[in-house]
Amino acid sequence: MNVKKFTAATSREALRKVRDALGPDAVILSNRPVDGVVEILALDNDDVASLAAPAPGSEMAQPQPRLDLNAFEPEAPAFVNRRGSAPALAAAPEHVYATRGAPTPQAQPEPEFVAEHGYANRRAAQPEPGFDMAAMTSMMSAAIAQAKESAAQEMSGMMYELRAMRGMMETQLAELSWGNTPQREPQKAAVLREMLAAGFSASLARYLVDKMPANKDAAEAMRWIKTVLARNLTTMADEDNLFEKGGVFALVGPTGVGKTTTTAKLAARCVMRHGPEKLALITTDAYRIGGHEQLRIYGKILGVMVHSVKDEADLRIALKELRNKHTVLIDTIGVSQRDQMVTEQVAMLQGSGADVKRLLCLNATSTNETLAEVVRAYQGSGLHGCIMTKLDEAASIGNVLDVVIRQKLNLHYISNGQRVPEDLHLADRAMLIDRAFRSRRDAAAAFDDADLPLMMAGTSKRDESLKGVRFG
């Protein structure tokens, strides 16, 4: 058995060496990484066939003709009766008989007869000493399994390369498509610059520009864009509906987004409408130093009792005791969107035994990608709405509006300061859209026409979040 070893930097190069040396029918015995390279042990297909075939010149390799019984006539012994006498039989049968008590004789061919006719005895038909058929079968099965695994890995690598090539081709085609846009349709280029400068994502900007009616100048195009954005921005028109119905509301979001201050602002609005006896405050922030005390100070000013809970069992008991309250506000602990505790917090609120409506606080100073990640983490079975915080600290708000539109969230309030309760306002769609473009109008000049193809090339027309955008 002539086993050959091949080494290369990758499995593909090693397999290519095997095919070049042993042909496409070679059998792979092993494939493993060794010292930073890939080592393959392979066997020629002819060598594999020779393992099962007898060695030339051996008795197994000789032809075995059929045995001709008429070629010889063994001598028939006398018939033995029960008394032990052996009378001579005049007409003995051609076959040999034996009584029941006597062993049946078996005719054995003579050695000269065997040599003359080329017969091999039954022992010669067995495998040669030292040949382990079970071990060979196991080795071949392992080699076949290894070959299949290698083929699967090779196919996976090829699919990855094909997807990468497809993405590269789409990017290049998009660059070519958008390369002449500033010259052919200058109004589209102007709209793109305005939307990107306002903080809107390139995906949403490209989608709206593609759907924008033709034959519009820059001013008409911007009015159309603002109208479409306002139409797709869902806001709470009247807070009377929220406070009249009441219920249990939990403010959730990452650390430092302003949940405790926003909770105090909502509590003040509720007290002004229904009085302190109709409101209850709950905090789950038992980790942050001073977190519980901050809400307790707000509650003392408003004349509202603040309850502290640690887990789902405490929350269930507290909500059961406060079921006669018109409104219950829960200030939750801030958890990073990448922390496993987000899932645990959502499960705790959903398993509290009450209909807890979760309001997500979105930091206006965060990037588009970060906000989208926060929404995906806190989405759970569904958010009742969201509140935009730190509006006074944000250089642009298009990033928040973009996420709210694409994630189809209901924007309830915007918070633009630390004053309680003054710095909390109902979300006004037209005002927010106008502010998004007005605050960053000068920044639009920073986007050169040559940069637009590169920025648009990374967008995808298959963004599922844009399918529900309404234009009319």
Structural domain harbouring 249: 237-426
Q: What is the structure's pLDDT at 363?
A: 94
Q: How many CA atoms does the CB half-sphere of 330 hold within 13 Å?
A: 33
Query: Last residue of some domain: 386, 411, 426?
Result: 426
Q: Between residues 289 and 236, which one has the greater pLDDT?
A: 236
The pair of three-digit structure tokens given for residue 325, joined into one six-digit string: 């309250």
- With a cut of 50, say whether residue 16 has pLDDT above it: yes
CATH at 362: 3.40.50.300
- DSSP-H helix ranges across 33-132: 45-52, 111-117
Three-state DSSP string of 386-455: EEEECHHHCCCCHHHHHHHHHCCCEEEEEECCCCCCCCEEECCHHHHHHHHHHCCCHHHHHCCCCCHHHH
The pair of three-digit structure tokens given for residue 308, joined into one six-digit string: 């502290």
In a domain, 434, yes or no: no
- With a cut of 90, say whether residue 68 has pLDDT above it: no
Q: What is the structure's pLDDT at 248?
A: 92
Helices 11-22, 133-179: axis angle to 10 degrees equals 120
Q: What is the structure's pLDDT at 103?
A: 47
DSSP 55: P
Whether 421 and 293 share a structural domain: yes
DSSP 2: -
Q: What is the structure's pLDDT at 35?
A: 83
Q: Are 93 and 77 in contact (CB under 8 A)?
A: no
In a domain, 355, yes or no: yes
| Model confidence pLDDT, tens digit, residues 117-174 | 444 444 444 555 555 677 778 888 888 888 888 888 888 888 888 877 776 666 555 5
Whether 257 and 148 share a structural domain: no
Cα–Cα distance, 352 to 317 (Å, whole number): 8
Per-residue confidence band for 433, with pLDDT thresholds at 50, 70 and 90? very high
Whether 262 and 335 share a structural domain: yes
Q: What is the structure's pLDDT at 170?
A: 60
Q: Are 334 and 255 in contact (CB under 8 A)?
A: yes
Query: Last residue of some domain: 148, 163, 179?
Result: 179
The model's pTM: 0.60
Whether 260 and 327 share a structural domain: yes
What is the pLDDT averaged over residues 412-435?
A: 90
In a domain, 435, yes or no: no
Q: Between residues 70 and 423, which one has the greater pLDDT?
A: 423
CA separation, residue 242 to residues 119, 234, 276, 326, 413 (Å) = 103, 15, 17, 11, 12
Whether 3 and 150 share a structural domain: yes
Q: How many domains does the chain have?
A: 2
In a domain, 64, yes or no: no
In a domain, 316, yes or no: yes
Whether 314 and 417 share a structural domain: yes
- With a cut of 60, say whether residue 289 has pLDDT above it: no
- With a cut of 80, say whether residue 466 has pLDDT above it: no
Whether 282 and 139 share a structural domain: no
In a domain, 385, yes or no: yes
Q: Between residues 98 and 24, which one has the greater pLDDT?
A: 24
Q: Tell me the pLDDT of the chain averaged across its residues.
A: 76
Per-residue confidence band for 54, with pLDDT thresholds at 50, 70 and 90? low
In a domain, 172, yes or no: yes
| Model confidence pLDDT, tens digit, residues 37-52 | 888 888 887 776 665 5
- Sign of the Cα torsion 461, 462, 468, 472 reads positive
Whether 170 and 247 share a structural domain: no
In a domain, 444, yes or no: no
Query: What percent of the chain stands above pLDDT 70?
Result: 69
Whether 378 and 291 share a structural domain: yes
Whether 35 and 124 share a structural domain: yes
Whether 118 and 259 share a structural domain: no
Query: Last residue of some domain: 131, 147, 179?
Result: 179
Q: What is the structure's pLDDT at 49?
A: 62
| Model confidence pLDDT, tens digit, residues 309-347 | 888 888 899 999 998 999 999 998 888 888 888 888 888
Q: Between residues 107 and 239, which one has the greater pLDDT?
A: 239
